[in-house]
Amino acid sequence: MKKNKLFKRDLTPVKRGSGGVFLSGSCSVAGIMLHVIAALLPVIIWAVYLFGARVLMVIAVSVASCVASETLLTLIIYKKPRISDLTSVVSGVMLAMTLPAATPLWIPLIGGVTAMGIKHLSGGPGRNFLNPALFARTVIMLAFGKLMIYTAPFEKLPLFASVSPELASETAMSALNAGKFPTESVFELLYGRCAGNIGEISALLIIIGGAFLMFRRIISYKIPASFLLTVAVITYAFPRIDIDSSFAVYTVLSGGVLFAALFMATDHTTSPCTTLGQIAYGIGCGGLTVLLRYSGLFYDGAYPAVLIMNELARPIDALAFRITSPVRSRKKKKTAETAETEGGAAK
Amino acid sequence: MAFTFSGGLDLQKPSKAFNGSITAYLTPKQTVIDFSGDKTAGFYPLVSPGETVLAYQQVGERMFGEDKIPVYGGVCGSVTEIIQNSDGQPTGVRITADGERKIADVSGYEGPLSGLSPEKIVEIVKNAAVPCRGSHVFAYKKLLANTGKAKRFILNFCESEPGVSSRKALSAEDLDGVLNGAKLLMKALDIRRCVIGIERESRDLLAEIAEKVKNNTLFEIRKVKQKYPQDEETALIYALNGTLLSDADAPEGSGCAVFDAETAAAVYRAVAFGVPYCERVVTVEGKNVLCPIGTPVAELLEFCGVSREKAVKLISGGPLRGKSFRKADDPVTAQTDAITVIYENDGVPIPEMTVCSRCGRCVSVCPARIIPYRAAELAKQKKYSKSAEYGTAACCECGCCDYVCPAYIPIKKLIRTAKRRLSEIKKNENKEPAAETTAKEAETENVFDAETEKITETEPEITAEPAETAAEPVDAAEITGETGADGQKEANEPDENGEIPADEPEDPAENGGETEEKTAENEDEDENEEKQTV
């Protein structure tokens, strides 16, 4: 049979009813989520290499908790489970990424329930205005912050049992916060041989993952770029401790700044979608991050900063749309005429 | 440097040579001229069954607004039927051709074309019934609307959709006609400057045009990027003039008059030779065919050697903006620039629609720079006036949003519905409530009334939010009643500080909309079945 020449690989024709569009070039929501998981895979593999199989344990508990509580919640709210689109899996992975490998395993369990709870109570899939993983992490930090232990790389961690506090090691970020020069070199932070949360060890792998998502047009470069630039510019201009000019570099590479900028702030549901809105959102995230790091209670400012900006995402979008959109005030009353000539006179 | 607009889709790889030759198929067995799809305009036949007609002969008249537009037949033969709709109103004629090609006596304007007055040109264009493809109006109407307003004339050579090449084929064949037609149109508008918008990738045609207008200061060539939907007025004006059209001004407001190459060619033919508009070039699977308007699709496909054995859908136009034909003997209309066939094994059924995750892809591709997902969401809840705030009126219905949507939401369809309903409501407010509601629309009537009230409340001020929220519970209660999602209200409560007030009742409303959408989808599937059996 003669094959239609028009339809190529990325042009999938669809049998849609009249009035629709007969081409679709998009993967599904589940496809997008698979992309995100794929982008995180190198990061996870590196973490497993550094901290052992306990990393997988943390991720597994977190994902299982998210999927189970989402199933339960959707059963209660919609009378049927709606978990097919992998969003809960991604939330679980994201949550685990923001926890250290030595976390007691019941913490991601609670985190998963919290994440799905906030997701469904703040509007349900696609409408939650808070990033579930970030919210859960912030709750965990507030409630169990003292139980979080950061261990040095290649420390032997038990698979199930809790890790003794004696193994605790300092992260580059906590050193910076204490006004000390981090023990790691910039290069070590870049390729990732340092203590920290599972998802924020190797800056390079995080950047590669983010670049992959940008290349596949899953996320836009605008939020990460404006976020990181803001952090870099402020910390360069006003360094908190005077370690030549590398304070800015250390701030961007240490802690969760990169991970938050590339994976957390770009979450579709909780970030703006207009160009101007995205840039404003990124700047807001960056500014808040520095503020929280300099004088906040949490020295890991990136996650709370994004969480705070989450609430502002929709107002920012609305404002940005009002500024840039072609839609002017309805006072003009011309709209009726336009609609008439466009819609009514269709031949 | 190439001009372009923001958004859009990069669908076609550049430098795809098109098959420029046009095959003529001027003697189909029959032609059907039918306006039954257009409820706004009446058709008055001037011929009776059994009468012999010639090609280019006037067979009837139709109303377009206040004006009477002649309708011409493209073939020579005998009238076999005056098509009527269910109310007994004539809507079209069927002409069975006798296989010959006898042309009615037509003559162009005698004397030098430069001596024509603008009024005369408009009159000839009107009498020849030359349409504009892009805006679905007649060319004379556009000329009148632009007279005195337009400062710049844009001649559009950009192709409407990937895979469609009828515009370029016609331009390559009749470039003199196109340029002369453009001159005539400029004369009618009293403009001394013509910007030619053409994709830089179509090098052959570009070189040809450059050669033709080399020493002519009237024309200026501007290359644009090959991107869908570059031929859309909004996109073209933005690319070439830098003006972003708002929903409050029609294209005229920008000071640009955009005319397509084929319109210009048709104008020249009408003025110089008196040929009315009753034939057009159609791209059928890469081949360009010149056929009379009214040629049944099946016949045209047969002529092109395209089998429709395994075809599941025949589309009038390209895959992004086209409409599916209901039956295989539906005719080619003035708007059919291509016929796209989707076969059984290259068409996948659209996956089930999921919830919008606000990924913003539709926003990033929208050439009109509106927020499609919001507009569609509100349209689904039948909040048409609210939806208009997100720019439904500026929407050019290019379908980019549908193409990129990962949740497979029929955004274009929803926005179009919102647009139509809103204009209907506005019409009803202004004039007599003489809306013909079809059976499909009747079931939504009660919601409709509530909507009308709401509009009168919110009309005077955009910031009259309290009125909106006051009117809202009616909607919400109604829809929650339908779906019975009780846990939902509670679940939505924390959303109240989400600033956008319409956020709350979304989910139940969406469920309601979803079921309706599905029935509509099913109907379409039924149509589809019908067509297959035909």
pLDDT tens-digit series, residues B171-227: 888 888 999 899 889 888 888 888 998 888 888 888 888 888 888 888 888 888 888
- Residue A283, pLDDT score: 96
Mention every residue, 6+ apart, whose C-beta is less than 8 A from residue B265. B170, B171, B174, B177, B178, B181
Check whether residue B144 and residue B237 sit in a common domain.
yes
* Count of Cβ atoms closer than 10 Å to residue B56 Cβ: 24
Q: Predicted ipTM? A: 0.81
Q: How far is CA A207 from the centre of its chain?
A: 13
Q: Do A273 and B497 touch (CB under 8 A)?
A: no
Nearest C-alpha in B relative to A128: B495
Task: List the single range of A43-47, A66-70, B423-427, B475-479 with lowest mean pLDDT.
Answer: B475-479
Give the one of A78, A126, A347 whose C-beta lies nearest to B356's C-beta.
A126
B427-446: average pLDDT: 50
Check whether residue B67 and residue B130 sit in a common domain.
no
Q: Do B403 and A13 touch (CB under 8 A)?
A: no
B491-514: average pLDDT: 36
Do residues A36 and A81 lie in contact, with contact meaning Cβ atoms separated by under 8 Å? Answer: no
User: What pLDDT tens digit does each residue of chain A (347 aa) get?
Assistant: 233 344 443 455 665 554 567 777 777 888 889 999 999 999 999 999 999 999 999 999 999 999 999 999 888 888 877 766 788 999 999 999 999 999 999 999 999 999 999 998 887 788 888 999 999 999 999 999 888 888 888 888 888 887 777 778 888 888 887 778 888 888 888 888 888 899 988 999 999 999 999 998 889 999 999 999 999 999 999 888 776 668 888 888 888 899 999 999 999 899 999 999 999 999 999 999 999 988 887 777 899 999 999 999 999 998 998 887 766 544 444 444 444 444 433 33
Q: Do A268 and B357 touch (CB under 8 A)?
A: yes
Q: Do A129 and B527 touch (CB under 8 A)?
A: no
Sign of CA dihedral A10, A15, A20, A26: negative
Check whether residue B171 and residue B42 sit in a common domain.
no
Q: Do B320 and A22 touch (CB under 8 A)?
A: yes
- Residue B507, pLDDT score: 37
Domain annotation covers residue B216: yes
Chain A CB contacts of B416 below 8 Å: 19, 343
**Residue B170: CATH number of its domain:** 3.40.50.11540
- What would the pLDDT profile of B326-359 be if each residue is shown by its tens digit? 777 788 888 888 888 887 776 667 777 888 888 8
Q: Is pLDDT of B440 > 90? A: no
Mention every residue, 6+ apart, whose C-beta is less than 8 A from residue B406. A26, A27, A28, A29, A31, A32, B357, B359, B361
Sign of CA dihedral A306, A307, A309, A310: positive
Amino acid at A197: N
Distance, in Å, from the CA atom of A91 to the CA atom of B208, rounded to the nearest integer, reads 57
What are the counts of helices (DSSP H) followed by strands (DSSP E) for chain A? 14, 2
The structural domain count of chain A equals 1
Token code pair at residue A325: 């959109």
Give the one of A21, A318, A341 whose C-beta lies nearest to B402's C-beta.
A21
Q: Which of A10, A216, A325 to mutate to probe the B interface, most B CBs <10 Å?
A: A325
Minimal C-alpha gap between A240 and chain B (Å) = 35
Distance, in Å, from the CA atom of A329 to the CA atom of B239, rounded to the nearest integer, reads 24
Nearest C-alpha in B relative to A120: B491
Minimal C-alpha gap between A1 and chain B (Å) = 9
Q: In B304-435, which ranges are continuous DSSP H helix?
A: 361-365, 372-380, 384-389, 400-404, 411-430
Domain annotation covers residue B10: no
Domain annotation covers residue A224: yes
Domain boundary pick from B251, B273, B295: B273
Q: What residues are paired with B63 via a beta bridge? A: B68
Q: Do A17 and B528 touch (CB under 8 A)?
A: yes
Q: Do A124 and B528 touch (CB under 8 A)?
A: no
Check whether residue B155 and residue B194 sit in a common domain.
yes
Residue B259: its H or E element: strand B256-260
Check whether residue B464 and residue B399 sit in a common domain.
yes
Chain B CB contacts of A5 below 8 Å: 163, 285-286
Check whether residue B492 and residue B368 sit in a common domain.
yes
B416: left (phi over 0), alpha (psi -120 to 50) or beta: alpha
Chain B CB contacts of A14 below 8 Å: 347-350
Residue A72: its H or E element: helix A54-78
Distance, in Å, from the CA atom of B229 to the CA atom of A290, rounded to the nearest integer, reads 42
Token code pair at residue A5: 């020449």
Could you tell me the maximum CA-CA distance found in chain A, to the nearest angstrom? Answer: 79
Do residues A317 and B364 lie in contact, with contact meaning Cβ atoms separated by under 8 Å? Answer: no
**Residue A215: CATH number of its domain:** 1.10.3430
Domain annotation covers residue A138: yes
Give the one of A24, A124, A340 whose C-beta lies nearest to B403's C-beta.
A24
Check whether residue B242 and residue B198 sit in a common domain.
yes
Minimal C-alpha gap between A294 and chain B (Å) = 29
SS3 B151: coil
In the DSSP assignment, the letter for residue B245 is P
Token code pair at residue B426: 């506005």
Minimal C-alpha gap between B516 and chain A (Å) = 14
Do residues B465 and B455 lie in contact, with contact meaning Cβ atoms separated by under 8 Å? Answer: no
- Residue B437, pLDDT score: 40
For residue B292, report the phi and psi dihedrals to the nearest 5 degrees: -65, 145
* Count of Cβ atoms closer than 10 Å to residue B51 Cβ: 15
Chain A CB contacts of B483 below 8 Å: none
Instruction: Please tell me chain B's helix, strand, coil percentages from 3-state DSSP, rounded to the nearest 5.
Output: 40, 20, 40
Do residues B131 and B277 lie in contact, with contact meaning Cβ atoms separated by under 8 Å? Answer: yes
Domain annotation covers residue A78: yes
Chain A CB contacts of B405 below 8 Å: 24, 26
Q: How far is CA B90 from the centre of its chain?
A: 24
Give the one of B315, B326, B416 whose C-beta lies nearest to A22's C-beta.
B315
Mention every residue, 6+ apart, whose C-beta is less than 8 A from residue A41. A209
Nearest C-alpha in B relative to A22: B319
Confidence of residue B233 (pLDDT cuts 50, 70, 90): confident
Q: Do A4 and B342 touch (CB under 8 A)?
A: yes
Edge-to-edge order in the sheet of strand B152-156 = B219-224, B194-199, B152-156, B256-260
Give the one of B342, B363, B410 whose C-beta lies nearest to A273's C-beta.
B363
Nearest C-alpha in A relative to B133: A347
Q: Which of B316, B358, B461 to mutate to probe the A interface, most A CBs <10 Å?
A: B358
Using alpha carbons only, give the angle B243, B248, B254 rounded to the nearest 5 degrees: 30
Chain A CB contacts of B363 below 8 Å: 273-274
Domain annotation covers residue A337: no
**Residue B74: CATH number of its domain:** 2.40.50.100
Check whether residue B417 and residue B470 sit in a common domain.
yes
Q: Are strands B43-45 and B58-64 parallel, antiparallel or unpaired?
A: antiparallel
Domain annotation covers residue A215: yes
Domain annotation covers residue A238: yes
A-B CB pairs within 8 A amount to: 282
Domain boundary pick from B77, B100, B123: B100
Q: How many CA atoms does the CB half-sphere of A324 hold within 13 Å?
A: 17
Domain boundary pick from B227, B242, B273: B273
Distance, in Å, from the CA atom of A265 to the CA atom of B179, rounded to the nearest integer, reads 52
Check whether residue B378 and residue B457 sit in a common domain.
yes
Distance, in Å, from the CA atom of B61 to the CA atom of B72, rounded to the nearest integer, reads 9
Minimal C-alpha gap between B32 and chain A (Å) = 16
Say which residue the tokens 């070189």 belong to: B207
Q: How many CA atoms does the CB half-sphere of A88 hold within 13 Å?
A: 30
The structural domain count of chain B equals 3
Kindly report the average pLDDT of chain B as a whole number. 74
Minimal C-alpha gap between A337 and chain B (Å) = 8
End-to-end CA separation in angstroms for chain B = 50
Torsion of CA A162, A164, A169, A171, to 10 degrees: 30
Check whether residue B126 and residue B93 sit in a common domain.
no
Task: List the single range of A239-243, B25-29, B367-371, B396-400 with lowest mean pLDDT.
Answer: A239-243
Q: How far is CA A30 from the centre of its chain?
A: 16
Check whether residue B519 and residue B449 sit in a common domain.
yes
Chain A CB contacts of B422 below 8 Å: 339
What domain range includes position A76?
A: 29-324
Q: Please give, one letter per residue, the 3-state secondary structure of B423-485.
A: HHHHHHHHCCCCCCCCHHHHCCHHHHHHHHHHHHHHCCCCCCHHHHHHHHHHHHHHHHHHHCC
Angle subtended by helix axes A132-144 and A87-97, to nearest 10 = 40
What domain range includes position B441?
A: 361-525
Domain annotation covers residue A252: yes
Cis peptide before B229 (omega within 30 of 0): yes
Domain annotation covers residue B3: no
B267-272: average pLDDT: 90
Do residues B143 and B122 lie in contact, with contact meaning Cβ atoms separated by under 8 Å? Answer: yes
In the DSSP assignment, the letter for residue B309 is S
Q: Do A78 and B389 touch (CB under 8 A)?
A: no
Distance, in Å, from the CA atom of B515 to the CA atom of B513, rounded to the nearest integer, reads 6
- What would the pLDDT profile of B290-314 be if each residue is shown by its tens digit? 988 888 888 888 888 887 777 777 8
Choose between B494 and A301: higher pLDDT.
Answer: A301
Chain B CB contacts of A3 below 8 Å: 343, 346
Give the one of A7, A17, A339 whose C-beta lies nearest to B524's C-beta.
A17
Choose between B369 and B516: higher pLDDT.
Answer: B369
Distance, in Å, from the CA atom of B128 to the CA atom of B107, rounded to the nearest integer, reads 12
Q: Do A17 and B307 touch (CB under 8 A)?
A: no
Chain A CB contacts of B407 below 8 Å: 28-29, 126
Token code pair at residue B339: 């016929």
Mention every residue, 6+ apart, whose C-beta is less than 8 A from residue A331. B461, B462
Check whether residue B92 and residue B125 sit in a common domain.
no
Nearest C-alpha in B relative to A342: B135
Contacts by A49-53, CB closer than 8 A, 24 or more apart: A50/A153, A50/A154, A50/A192, A50/A193, A50/A201, A51/A101, A51/A102, A51/A151, A51/A153, A51/A155, A51/A157, A51/A198, A52/A101, A52/A156, A52/A157, A52/A159, A53/A159
What is the DSSP track for A297-339? S-S--HHHHHHHHHHHHHHHHHHHHHHH-S---GGG--HHHHH
Domain annotation covers residue A106: yes
